[in-house]
Structure 1
Amino acid sequence: MSARTGNQYLEQICKNSPEVWIGADRVTDVTAHSATQGAAHEIARLYDLQHDARYRGDMLFTSPTTGQQVGTQFLVPTKQEDLLRRRRAHKIWADATCGLMGRTTDFIGAMLTAWYVNADFFGDTADRVRDYFEYVRENDLFLTHAIIDPPVDRSRPPSQQPDRFTYLGVEAEAEEGLIVSGAKMLATAAPYADEILVWPFSRRNHEAADAPYALAFAIPTNSEGLRFISREPYSSGNRFDHPLASRFDEMDAVVVFDRVLVPWNRVFLNQDYDRVNRIWEINSNAFTGVQSSARLMSKLQFVAGLAKRATELVRTDQFPQVRDMLGEITTYIELTRAALIASETTAETTASGAVVPNVTPLYAVRNSGNRWYPRVRELLQLTVAGGLLYQPADVSAFRSEIAGDLDKFYRGPEVAAEDRVKLYKVAADLAVSGFGGRHELYERFYAGDPLFLRINTQFQMYDWAHPLDLVDSLLDSYGVDDVLGASGEEVT
């Protein structure tokens, strides 16, 4: 099978819908349910972009095994142009969603690319990882992932939780595979995914007693015993009044495993706590960091454009304080762009010939974006200000007896009321709504605890050689004898 179209994606996810719960409501078709259909159809639109003549050259390449056209998200780079091509593909999808869907399938596609490049890390199961990567690539599957344990008792390791299977662990080994039970979080975009990739992500090193919880595997999202408990949706409104939430609410869910069978060919790590503790060696951040940075850039560009257009409409863009705040947003855009370019121009080639982006500048963006985005959302609030609360409650007002009031009092100097309200509804959806609040929380924490991320990547893992060499070089350039002569007097 080659790269999917939107209709092929919708048909497959409709046929194989996972068990999704929204409150007491079990969703039987994510393509039709009011809480999930908006995002499902946006994802379908992304699949169609792969086949758009404008983007096909960047978004598709020829599979090395089947000769079919497959997604660039699975391209294993062997030259710098491949890195640029991957970045362009990520950016096309990010722009199509204004950067508001953080877990489009190219995020896990990037992660699996790193797993494939570094498959030897998995030891005896390396070929399973390679085979799975090719399976996902050739079938153009949409993947989510779940890597965090539920926050029941964060002070204790997996083996000391209130229930043996509070955290996901092995119940038994069967002839067909592992039987696993427990829970993982937070599977973003789970209702729309064909498969789920699971592995542990924790600051706490696993010990021997935690071996049953040291797992890495992938299974279909409609596997028996697997269910997703979703948060409250933000997508129930119409497109005019909730222009972003109605389309881009990708949903987050807790994943419950109730004696789920994981076939052996899908088990990548089985109770191997040593490898789980070292899984960072795969360096998947080098690839996912490109995707998440390209997406962040689209999101920052969208907010910048939104604030610029909203202030233009009421002519506050001439005020110096407004220009300063908009300029601050563009600063973050260009720092993100610079990090992406730096990651490509200083890429490294592995022994197998794969060209891997330099993760260091990508870490810098990841560890800054979780501060930048909350600030950017604040800047949107500060620049648009009371205009965010200035809108009529819903679109029906334009076809009511107060329509004349709207035409008079909601217009701008050179724009009709409908056009002004339409734009400000977008700004309000991002700046003050529940959907917008979720996005701020997402940017703060999607990569993990910001404090420990910065400590690990910007301090412990950082290459301090050159900074320290600069200091040592300066200190080595003079001494007491250079300042005081034999008589002890200062030499001029």
Structure 2
Amino acid sequence: MATRPQTGSDYLASLDDGRVVIHDGERVARVAEHPAFSGTASAIASLYDSLHAEDGTADALLAPTADGTGVTHRFWAVPQSADDLRGQREAIRAWQRQTNGWLGRTPEFMACVITSMAAHAPFFGRFEGNVRAALARDQRDVTHYAQALVNPPVDRELPPDEVGDVFLHVVRETDAGLVVRGAKAVVTGAATAQRLLVSHFGGEVQTDGFAIAASVPVATSGLRIFTRGTPFRADQPLASRFQEHDALVVFDDVLIAWDDVLIHDAETMLAYNRGAVGWNARLAFQAATRLEAKLEHVAGLAVRAVEIMGTEERRGTQAALGELIAFRHTVAGLRDAMIEQAVPSGDSVLPGIDSAMAFSALAPDAYSRMRVSLETVLSSALAHLPVPQGALGSDELAGLEPLLRGSNGADARERLEVVGELWDAIGTGFGARHELYERSYWGQPERTHVGVLGLARATGRIAEWQARRHGSDAAPTTHPTADRIRA
């Protein structure tokens, strides 16, 4: 039988590797057992276990590894056709519906980068072999990554290469590898990851010392992860299961083995960030499928909530719910358009760039609008949660339960369950962090919009549209390709 990836137990055991995680200022002894991380770790473990299900459901999640010796999650395979992308969509969707899209960094997430790199392996020059080896390893294991791209928000008026006291850079080269020093910020899910994909994004580096991309084990000596808790109660159904932390990762003279280095020159880093391997479009493909699952979950709760409130016949309520569902359809439609617009790219096919960028431009504002709309429609129902759901049934609350019932057959338990989960989704610290997460997912929204304009100019679209105004049949001089993605 073909070798399968790690199990949930394998994953949980891998977190007990001596990693240095400092949460709320205190060293964490065992990450998988710490209250701040145990819910997320358990949720990720359940995803791995689904790859080993014996009821036949695992088959739709799996595809052969490149060397044919095993199977992997479908998104970890390099797609060769639109049908491959459709299969990857279903595999991503199956995992995201298990977590309802609330985990931004699930184990298939970083496949968008590693597979794109492998499909363009010669681009990486002397590190081509490392890129191919990384894919082979990560396909076999379905490695759980966190992405460490962003520099800490300091000295932004200076070029990155001039902030050597903070930004990650190489301090020396040795026979064993590169020794790096500095920090990366907003590394979502670092504490529960197995490896970090370290790279540079935001400001163009000009020197090779600051142009570093590598795959780094989380337990590497000298690497420290700092997180701060978003307080939550045990009865918060989402926060207790899916709390992710945006970490500051500090590298104190960390040795990165040569075998783990993927980029180490400014020219390659610049081209990589400008879309030479197309990972941005693959990222949008996964992100849209994740957001689709989250919106389906929220919409299902919201429809039942207004029924419990007895306001489902109000026109304004119906309009707000319809808009939320339309947002879900738009996200799913843009993702499916990425499949239909797929283009050859290296040794793979790449999801359509136009639709990928349209999704990245739409999602931040639409998610924020969704939250405000729900707060308006649900209004005081979100505040009418006088007791925890788990307290129902006690002698002290026996007489209170009839006062908490809802409309349309909802008893107190259902009302507190449905509205309480919506409160966690949009009203608590967990919910507020998720709005910030979706709004900041692609960086500054203005940058995305500028990129959309730049791509339209680079592909000749603007010239074509302007020519039509004068009755010309002129066609665009260039066509969209994977190399013209603008981050």
**Same-fold call, TM cutoff 0.5:** yes
In structure 1, the residue matched to 2:398 is 404
User: In the alignment, which of 467, 471, 480 is matched to residue 476 of structure 1?
Assistant: 471
In structure 2, the residue matched to 1:310 is 305
In structure 1, the residue matched to 2:98 is 96
Deviation at 1:468, TM superposition (A): 4.2
SS in 1 for 2:392: helix
In structure 1, the residue matched to 2:118 is 116
Distance 2:66 2:377 in 1: 51
Distance 2:18 2:374 in 1: 38
Distance 2:449 2:57 in 1: 36
**Residues 166 and 182 in structure 1, CA contact (< 8 A), matched pair in contact too:** yes
Deviation at 1:62, TM superposition (A): 2.0
SS in 2 for 1:153: coil
SS in 1 for 2:21: strand
In structure 2, the residue matched to 1:184 is 184
Distance 2:390 2:323 in 1: 37
Distance 2:461 2:223 in 1: 50
Equivalent residue letter for 2:14: Q
Distance 2:73 2:152 in 1: 33
**Residues 228 and 255 in structure 1, CA contact (< 8 A), matched pair in contact too:** yes
In structure 2, the residue matched to 1:420 is 415
Q: After superposition, what is the alpha-carbon deviation per residue over 1:134-187, rounded to whole angstroms, capped at 9, x for unaligned? A: 1111122111111010012111123333xx331111111111011111100111
**Residues 303 and 380 in structure 1, CA contact (< 8 A), matched pair in contact too:** no
**Residues 108 and 143 in structure 1, CA contact (< 8 A), matched pair in contact too:** yes
Distance 1:141 1:466, change over 3 A: closer
Distance 1:395 1:476, change over 3 A: closer
In structure 1, the residue matched to 2:136 is 134
Deviation at 1:473, TM superposition (A): 2.8
Distance 1:460 1:470 in 2: 15
In structure 2, the residue matched to 1:488 is none
Between 1:273-282 and 1:186-195, the stretch displaced more is 273-282
**Residues 307 and 383 in structure 1, CA contact (< 8 A), matched pair in contact too:** no
**Residues 2 and 140 in structure 1, CA contact (< 8 A), matched pair in contact too:** no
Deviation at 1:229, TM superposition (A): 0.3
SS in 2 for 1:105: coil
Distance 2:289 2:149 in 1: 22
Deviation at 1:401, TM superposition (A): 4.3
Equivalent residue letter for 1:207: Q
Q: Gapped runs of 5+ residues in structure 1?
A: 478-492
Between 1:464-473 and 1:82-91, the stretch displaced more is 464-473
Larger Rg: 1
User: In the alignment, which of 52, 55, 61 is matched to residue 63 of structure 2?
Assistant: 61
In structure 2, the residue matched to 1:291 is 286
Equivalent residue letter for 1:194: Q
**Residues 289 and 359 in structure 1, CA contact (< 8 A), matched pair in contact too:** no
Identity of aligned residues (%): 30
Distance 1:17 1:44, change over 3 A: farther
User: In the alignment, which of 266, 271, 281 is matched to residue 278 of structure 1?
Assistant: 271
Deviation at 1:301, TM superposition (A): 1.4
Distance 1:334 1:237 in 2: 33
In structure 1, the residue matched to 2:204 is 205
Equivalent residue letter for 1:237: R
Between 1:224-233 and 1:65-74, the stretch displaced more is 65-74
SS in 1 for 2:33: coil
Deviation at 1:88, TM superposition (A): 0.7
Distance 2:135 2:165 in 1: 29
**Residues 303 and 376 in structure 1, CA contact (< 8 A), matched pair in contact too:** no
**Residues 325 and 383 in structure 1, CA contact (< 8 A), matched pair in contact too:** yes
Distance 1:309 1:49 in 2: 29
Q: After superposition, what is the alpha-carbon deviation per residue over 1:436-489, rounded to whole angstroms, capped at 9, x for unaligned? A: 000000001122111111101x10112564454344234237xxxxxxxxxxxx
1:234-273 aligned at under 5 Å gives the runs 234=231, 236-238=232-234, 241-270=235-264, 272-273=265-266
Distance 1:66 1:224 in 2: 34
Are 1:439 and 2:434 an aligned pair? yes
Deviation at 1:351, TM superposition (A): 5.2
In structure 2, the residue matched to 1:158 is 160
Deviation at 1:227, TM superposition (A): 0.8
Distance 1:64 1:264 in 2: 23
SS in 2 for 1:390: coil
Distance 2:387 2:181 in 1: 46
**Residues 76 and 142 in structure 2, CA contact (< 8 A), matched pair in contact too:** no
Deviation at 1:269, TM superposition (A): 1.5
Distance 1:364 1:26, change over 3 A: same
Distance 1:396 1:333 in 2: 32
In structure 2, the residue matched to 1:43 is 44
Across the aligned residues of Structure 1 and Structure 2, the Cα RMSD in angstroms comes to: 1.7
Distance 1:435 1:116, change over 3 A: same
Equivalent residue letter for 1:376: M
**Residues 17 and 191 in structure 1, CA contact (< 8 A), matched pair in contact too:** no
In structure 2, the residue matched to 1:489 is none
Equivalent residue letter for 2:266: Y
Distance 1:466 1:141, change over 3 A: closer
- Give the TM-score taking structure 1 as reference length: 0.91
